[in-house]
Amino acid sequence: MHPVIWMRPEHGTRGPKPTHSRRDVAVAGIRIADQAGIDAVSMRRIAAELGTGTTSLYRYVSKKDDVLELMGDEVMGELRGTVLTGEWRADLSTIARLLRETALRHPWLPSLASGRANLGPNSLWWSELSLSVFDGLDLSTDEMLANLDTLSAFVLGHVQAELGDRAAELRSGLTHEQWMERQGEYGPTIVNSGRYPRLTRVIVEAESPHRADRQDRRFAVGLDRVLDGLAVHL
């Protein structure tokens, strides 16, 4: 049995037709993860969602990791229909924004980044689209990869931090604003210690952490910096 799910046939030709499909499993998992978080995605709960027995899922999938892989690729399918302009900077910006928006819609997505690329059809399609950005630019494939790696590292890292913030809100029941207040009780300890003069200045002066749209602005600014960096070598 091959370890990569995409190389195993979905089902054999003999016995009874399976009641569900891999896609059904993925969609059920996504529904649960979106509503109740990635930790709520258990084999038992997916099975319940599908109205089947828990261990029946192992007919569609050989490990829970496979379910996550299927979920990841299924979500990338939401990006089908993306159209690019042919201007590299605008297109890389579009790609970065779409990736971020998808991750925000499915906050569990970055957490299953296995490093090793997802080889599902939707993920392959997205890779192809991303590479097409460099079509007329006469770059080596290694240079293309370097650009995409840098961009996606930034997007992944930013989204990760952004989602950690949200996750903390859900776990603690404190919004960012409420947390800033609580932190306000701790602030004097920091300020009064005298050990952190620059941090003190940030606590007192900085405005960006308090804005409602702070995450959008941070992303936009950071993205622009990164694209500036890529532009130097293009």
- Asked whether the beta carbons of 158 and 97 are under 8 A apart, the reply is no
| SS3 label, residue 116 | coil
Do 104 and 162 touch, CB atoms closer than 8 A? yes
Residue span 160-179 as binding mask against a second copy, x where in contact by CB under 8 A, dash where not: xxxxxxxxx--xx-x----x
- Using the rule CB under 8 A, is 145 a contact of a second copy? yes
Q: Reduce the DSSP state of residue 166 to 3 states and report it.
A: helix
Torsion angle (degrees, nearest 10) of CA 187, 215, 162, 175: 50
CA-to-CA distance for 155 and 95, rounded, in angstroms? 10
Q: Hey, what are 120's tokens?
A: 């599902």
Pull the structure tokens for residue 54.
């828990």
152 binds a second copy (CB under 8 A): yes
Residue 217 interacting with DNA (CB under 7 A): no
Verify binding: residue 41, DNA, rule CB under 7 A: yes
Q: Taking CB within 5 to 8 Å according to partner kind, which of DNA, a second copy, none is near residue 132?
A: a second copy
Kindly state whether residue 42 participates in binding a second copy, applying the rule CB under 8 A. Answer: no
Pick from a second copy, DNA, none: which does 175 bind, CB < 5 to 8 A by kind? none
Encoded one letter per residue, x for contact with DNA by CB under 7 A and - for no contact, window 55-74 reads: xx-xxx-xxxx---------
Nearer to DNA, 56 or 102 (CB): 56
Residues that bind DNA (CB under 7 A): 11-20, 40-45, 52-56, 58-60, 62-65
